[in-house]
Chain A
């Protein structure tokens, strides 16, 4: 399966991905409701987009007491069925990455569903920071790069193994 991989070195914080995601998911350009978020760190002059990794062992899915979270067989995406979601927020507490949002208006949780296999955020990325790649590539290469970059911008690498 493929996921949306992030290269923080290339991100320029234009937030196109957030706007595109919000529009795709809600029909509106309210960034706060997007399922991808670009964190901008002014002191470190760094920006990093974050979105769901569709974990192989997705705890949000296992723990959902409404049976509302399932894996899409075709795309591999971990998806929330808004019709079944009771709004109990157990998935928000289960996700260690903060990648599940809550729609106060409808009282349901929401997250990235890979737009059914054609993630719009990737198409709207102007700098090549987002790519839709096979998981193995995303993990072996991209995540390492992400951690290294984060350490670098924080000057944490010195004196560390």
Chain B
């Protein structure tokens, strides 16, 4: 029992995405007493950004985008403040300041506001047809703009952009992609993998130009947007999707952002330099598997893991994070694309390349001093499964003698090696 007159501790969570939800759920397994407030800039319960392209593809219905409902916040005893964008964190006074002038004192704080898309300085890049694919409302607007036969311009060929392209093609749009860099997906695929995917993209009827600059947009006399692109005749666009990267919403705690860096720096407990103030997810620059400089791994699994650590520590549990491991998987243009860890080979690394394994068109594994450190796989669902087999080795830094044994399911030596790398997995949930 709390002595009379002692206030309940107040934990504030800024954001209502992957990291925030994971933190809240974990926090409540440790602490049922404290007051919790979740402040979200958006007007709804938690939804999944990852699903937005699947919604545009009509694979996922609108109501399934929401991964938590109002009852969830009741069950986890959290006050959900909607349309409550935090503008500033007053660290000295320990309170949040909202855009509309309200403020909210806290004892402990988690910053999980994610990241925001950046708009490149291209002249004329404005109007109702110009959208990012990032928030739910933007996806809703794109859904209206996605009419059969409409002409789409997609600027940028990153992971989110290409998913938007695939959705647009599936909805019968005519799509042109303009990418400034030399190749698609630099952070997700190696050169050879990118080439294979690029062939699939072109084969699906997309007009794809890399190494090309979007010069500007103008409206013609009927109000239609016309695009000028270096080296191409100008063309009309009914939809423009801007996917030229995102940046962490780290302005909320600028004093914890290192010069010339992005992301709020956190230690392996997800705490910032300020006592009792934590950060997790896309906004956090945290430790990575295998050491090296802290990094922002703006990925869903990382947000979930970091949220879990932060949630435990907000309750005083002293959990530590082994570091994030970049992992990507998606299926688009008829191929499953997956990557893991550091797949760019450095001098002295051994590179395993295979194109003859069942279900895999391309597999590359980078091995450093006997330990696999990263991989790329393209093919069928087996691409995801193979990297799933490999992941424990990369994560725990376990040497592998026979890589093929590890990544193909039906191999007894691989089974044993995997068993060792995974370590103690406890089967069964409740009651175990």
> Which segment, of B2-10, B125-133, B188-196, B325-333, faces chain A?
B325-333
Counting chain B CB atoms within 10 Å of each CB, which of A1, A84, A90 scores highest?
A90
- Proximity bits, A123-161, B CB within 8 Å = 1, else 0: 000000000000110110001000100110110100000
The reply on B68 being an interface residue by CB < 8 A is yes
**In the complex, A3→B380 CA distance in Å?**
29
**A107 in contact with B330 (CB, 8 Å):** no
> Which segment, of A12-20, A21-29, A63-71, faces chain B?
A63-71
CB distance from B380 to the nearest CB of A (A): 7
Counting chain A CB atoms within 10 Å of each CB, which of B304, B381, B387 scores highest?
B381
Q: A63-B300, A92-B384 are in contact. Are A1 and B51 (CB under 8 A)?
A: no
**B429 in contact with A92 (CB, 8 Å):** no
Query: Which residues of the partner chain A approach B385 to less than 8 Å between Cβ atoms?
Result: 92-93, 95, 98, 100
**A88 in contact with B330 (CB, 8 Å):** yes
**A139 in contact with B426 (CB, 8 Å):** yes
**Residue in B54, B68, B412 whose CB lies within 8 Å of A150:** B412
**A102 in contact with B381 (CB, 8 Å):** yes
A residues 49-107 near B (Cβ < 8 Å) are: 53-58, 62-63, 65-67, 71, 73, 76, 78, 83-84, 86-90, 92-98, 100-102, 104, 107
The reply on A39 being an interface residue by CB < 8 A is yes
Counting chain B CB atoms within 10 Å of each CB, which of A37, A39, A92, A100 scores highest?
A92
**Residue in A54, A62, A86, A102 whose CB lies within 8 Å of B427:** A54
**A107 in contact with B412 (CB, 8 Å):** no
> Which segment, of B179-187, B207-215, B414-422, faces chain A?
B414-422
**A92 in contact with B67 (CB, 8 Å):** no
**A55 in contact with B426 (CB, 8 Å):** yes
**In the complex, A94→B419 CA distance in Å?**
15
* Residue ID in chain B nearest A62 by CB atoms: B304
Q: A46-B412, A154-B416 are in contact. Are A95 and B388 (CB under 8 A)?
A: yes
Chain B's interface size range is: 35 or more
Q: Interface residues of A, CB < 8 Å — how many?
A: 55
Query: Which residues of the partner chain A approach B415 to less than 8 Å between Cβ atoms?
Result: 39, 48, 150
CB distance from B64 to the nearest CB of A (A): 5
**A66 in contact with B427 (CB, 8 Å):** no
**Residue in B59, B381, B391, B413 whose CB lies within 8 Å of A86:** B59
**A138 in contact with B330 (CB, 8 Å):** no
Query: Which residues of the partner chain B approach A83 to less than 8 Å between Cβ atoms?
Result: 64
CB distance from B389 to the nearest CB of A (A): 6
CB distance from B409 to the nearest CB of A (A): 5
**In the complex, A139→B425 CA distance in Å?**
9
CB distance from B327 to the nearest CB of A (A): 6
Query: Which residues of the partner chain B approach A67 to less than 8 Å between Cβ atoms?
Result: 48, 67-68
**In the complex, A2→B178 CA distance in Å?**
54
**A54 in contact with B329 (CB, 8 Å):** no
**In the complex, A88→B27 CA distance in Å?**
28
Query: Which residues of the partner chain A approach B389 to less than 8 Å between Cβ atoms?
Result: 96, 98
Query: Which residues of the partner chain A approach B431 to less than 8 Å between Cβ atoms?
Result: 1, 76, 135
**In the complex, A92→B301 CA distance in Å?**
13
**In the complex, A130→B412 CA distance in Å?**
19
**Residue in A62, A78, A143 whose CB lies within 8 Å of B429:** A78
**In the complex, A46→B412 CA distance in Å?**
9
Q: A1-B428, A87-B331, A88-B54 are in contact. Are A94 and B48 (CB under 8 A)?
A: no
**A55 in contact with B427 (CB, 8 Å):** yes
**B329 in contact with A93 (CB, 8 Å):** yes
The reply on A44 being an interface residue by CB < 8 A is yes
Query: Which residues of the partner chain B approach A86 to less than 8 Å between Cβ atoms?
Result: 50-51, 54, 59-60, 64
CB pairs A–B below 8 angstroms (30 shown): A3-B427, A39-B409, A41-B411, A46-B412, A48-B412, A53-B428, A55-B426, A56-B426, A65-B51, A66-B48, A66-B50, A66-B51, A84-B64, A86-B60, A87-B54, A87-B331, A89-B329, A89-B330, A93-B340, A94-B301, A96-B391, A96-B422, A98-B409, A135-B427, A135-B428, A135-B432, A138-B427, A139-B427, A150-B412, A154-B413
- Chain A positions near chain B (C-beta within 8 angstroms): 1-3, 37, 39-41, 44, 46, 48, 53-58, 62-63, 65-67, 71, 73, 76, 78, 83-84, 86-90, 92-98, 100-102, 104, 107, 135-136, 138-139, 143, 147, 150-151, 153-154, 156
Since A56-B428, A65-B50 are in contact, a sample of 6 more A-B pairs with Cβ atoms closer than 8 Å, ordered by chain A residue number, is A41-B411, A66-B50, A93-B327, A94-B388, A94-B391, A147-B419
